[in-house]
Amino acid sequence: MNKWIVTITVMIGTIMSSLDTSIVNVAIPYIQGSMGASLEQITWVSTGYLLSNTIIMPIIALLSSRFGRKNFYMFGIALFTLGSALCGIAWNLYAIVIFRIIQGIGGGVLIPIAQAILREVFPKEEQGMAMGIYGMGVVMGPAIGPTLGGWLIDRYSWPWIFYINLPIGIVALIMVNIFIEDPEFLIREKSKIDFLGLIFMAIGFGTLQIFLADGENKDWFTSQYITHLAIIAGAGIIFFVIRELTIKKPAVDLRILKNINFTLGTLLGGVLGMGLFASLFVLPVFLQNLLGYTAFDAGVAMVPRSLAMALMMPIGGKLFNKLGPKILVSFGLILVIISFFQFANLNLNASFWDIFIPQFLQGSGFGFIFVSVSTSALITIEKSDLTFATSIYNVFRLITGSIGVALAATYVDRGTNAYYSVLTQNVSMFSRNTLEYIARLDQVLGIPFQLPDLKIKEMLNETIMQQAMMLSYNHVYLLIMFIFVLSLPLAFFLKGFKDIKRD
């Protein structure tokens, strides 16, 4: 089968699935109003999708060998499409959360299998190109999601962010049925399933996602509920790892992590996921809350990052064989570090170019990193183990992405309160700067200056809060920057094709 036809076929599902990790975020306020839900309740619309993604991904290889990879892939597309249709017609909060879980199970199947298929159909010398194409789908989806979602909501209504998947899903289903076949090395097995391992995995990863999603709302470990979730998640994951490493036929073959190159690539992929998802969460909120952007304008403002990724991923794929992962990943990390340093120095007077330039640098860096890391991580994996490997790689990236979002949300909230407390200590009627500021407000408002009235107090308080939030966002960007700085040494241990030949 022609590799380009196969590529187009699997990329349809990849883009569709990755898009839904972020497109729903801009619709949350509209769904909340429609369902009459609280802010805490409505977060389950996103949490349910990620939860089911996390649970299904590690067992994709098991289910593919049992039912056939093509059949299971078609099942994933059909379930995702059905879940999308049901989300669009959901009549209450419980219904849409259940339907999002259904959609997430289907969506979680698509990305790892697509990555494995692309890795198989392209020859070794074109692996970088294959991962560049794949990366465009995985990374571009979350990047363009807010823009597309904002446009659909403004033009139509929130159910259309789900309805748009229906024709795409049907086309993907038809094309997979025609153009995709099971690989020759795939052995259809119907041996005994490790149900105990699956139970430990579902408990561990499931409670971990809930812990990350609800932690900030419940003030983390001050809540017994969150503390119990952390204990259950930790115990579940520990028992899962022990079970899978000691049983002869594990549900998830964790022994693949003995491959040092794959493990390093997976760790760096996790760092990429943490930084990417954290920044995708923080930037739109910053643009809307502090710079006054609409949801759609915030989405449009994030286009430069998507554009840079689209340009650099194919270039990174072509350069992989010549330069190897060490140079490309290091160069990409340096670009990303510079971009986050620039974000960490933004202020409330940020212009278009202040937002554009660091985003373009960041998108370029992410493009080089993603292609090189995903290619390097998988080049030492046997074809028969690829579905296992891609599942583990992607679920780790998803979990670290959730950790990144949770940490970013926590630091923005707590940082704002901390900076507000510090700033208010320096504001008083005995401060010359405060008096000068009030005098300027009096001139603008046309109020004779005697004592500051309620309006001036409100404006002064709003100014302090905005400055506190700005400092908090700067702090978060600085923390993300340090995560990438600390990961820089790992790049020099990654292997390319030349290193493998020497070994």
Residue 178, exposed/middle/buried by CB under 10 A (0-12, 13-18, 19+)?
exposed
Mean pLDDT of 318-345: 91
Confidence of residue 503 (pLDDT cuts 50, 70, 90): low
Mean pLDDT of 399-404: 84
Of the spans 223-237, 289-303, 488-502, which averages the highest pLDDT?
223-237
pLDDT (0 to 100) of residue 147 = 74
pLDDT (tens digit, 9 = 90+) per residue, 115-135? Answer: 888 888 888 777 777 777 777
Interatomic CA distance for residues 40 and 8, integer angstroms: 39
The percent of the chain in helix, strand and coil, each rounded to the nearest 5, is 80, 0, 20
User: Which 3 state secondary structure label does DSSP give 14?
Assistant: helix
pLDDT (tens digit, 9 = 90+) per residue, 450-496? Answer: 545 566 667 777 788 888 989 999 999 999 999 899 888 988 888 87
Residue 73: pLDDT above 90? yes
Interatomic CA distance for residues 329 and 153, integer angstroms: 37
Q: Could you write out the DSSP letters of every residue in 357-398?
A: HHHHHHHHHHHHHHHHHHHHHHTTS-GGGHHHHHHHHHHHHH
pLDDT (tens digit, 9 = 90+) per residue, 433-454? Answer: 666 666 666 665 555 545 455 6
For residue 79, which amino acid is it? L
pLDDT (tens digit, 9 = 90+) per residue, 140-158? Answer: 676 677 778 878 888 888 8
What letter does residue 68 receive in the DSSP assignment?
-
Please say whether the beta carbons of 373 and 272 come within 8 A: yes
Question: Which position has the higher pLDDT, 357 or 193?
Answer: 357
pLDDT (0 to 100) of residue 230 = 93
Question: Which position has the higher pLDDT, 387 or 347?
Answer: 347
Confidence of residue 360 (pLDDT cuts 50, 70, 90): very high
Residue 374: pLDDT above 80? yes
| Beta-carbon contacts of residue 201 (< 8 Å; ≥ 6 apart) | 55, 58, 59, 236, 240, 251, 252
> Could you tell me the CA-to-CA distances from 432 to 82, 403, 427, 437, 480 in Å, in that order?
64, 44, 9, 9, 37
Span of 40-49, 102-111, 326-335 with lowest mean pLDDT: 40-49
pLDDT (0 to 100) of residue 436 = 66
Please say whether the beta carbons of 358 and 488 come within 8 A: no
User: Which 3 state secondary structure label does DSSP give 2?
Assistant: coil
Please say whether the beta carbons of 336 and 470 come within 8 A: no
Span of 220-229, 241-250, 262-271, 297-306 with lowest mean pLDDT: 297-306
State the CB neighbour count (10 A cutoff) for residue 492. Answer: 11
What letter does residue 251 receive in the DSSP assignment?
S
What letter does residue 124 receive in the DSSP assignment?
G
Confidence of residue 57 (pLDDT cuts 50, 70, 90): confident
Mean pLDDT of 27-46: 79
User: Which 3 state secondary structure label does DSSP give 22?
Assistant: coil
Q: Would you say the C-alpha torsion 12, 17, 22, 27 has a positive or negative sign?
A: positive
> Could you tell me the CA-to-CA distances from 451 to 316, 428, 454, 457, 458 in Å, in that order?
62, 12, 10, 10, 14
Residues in the chain: 503
Mean pLDDT of 314-342: 90
Give the residue among 272, 481, 249, 485 at the shortest CA–CA distance from 373: 272
pLDDT (0 to 100) of residue 75 = 95
Confidence of residue 188 (pLDDT cuts 50, 70, 90): low
Give the residue among 139, 90, 45 at the shortest CA–CA distance from 370: 139
Span of 54-63, 98-107, 293-302, 369-378 with lowest mean pLDDT: 293-302
What is the residue whose two structure tokens read 């992410």? Answer: 366
Please say whether the beta carbons of 143 and 309 come within 8 A: yes
Residue 63: pLDDT above 60? yes
Interatomic CA distance for residues 20 and 110, integer angstroms: 12
Residue 98: pLDDT above 90? yes
pLDDT (0 to 100) of residue 235 = 95
Please say whether the beta carbons of 114 and 14 come within 8 A: yes
Question: Which position has the higher pLDDT, 431 or 233?
Answer: 233
Residue 371: pLDDT above 90? no
Interatomic CA distance for residues 91 and 170, integer angstroms: 24
For residue 392, which amino acid is it? I
Mean pLDDT of 409-422: 85
Residue 233: pLDDT above 80? yes
Average pLDDT of every residue of the chain: 83
Residue 357: pLDDT above 80? yes
Give the residue among 109, 110, 127 at the shortest CA–CA distance from 118: 127
| Beta-carbon contacts of residue 295 (< 8 Å; ≥ 6 apart) | 26, 146, 149, 150, 153, 154, 284, 288
Q: How far apart are the first and last CA of the chain?
A: 33
> Could you tell me the CA-to-CA distances from 103 to 86, 163, 170, 321 in Å, in that order?
9, 12, 15, 37
pLDDT (0 to 100) of residue 72 = 92
Please say whether the beta carbons of 132 and 325 come within 8 A: no
Interatomic CA distance for residues 19 and 132, integer angstroms: 17
Interatomic CA distance for residues 418 and 426, integer angstroms: 13
pLDDT (0 to 100) of residue 175 = 93
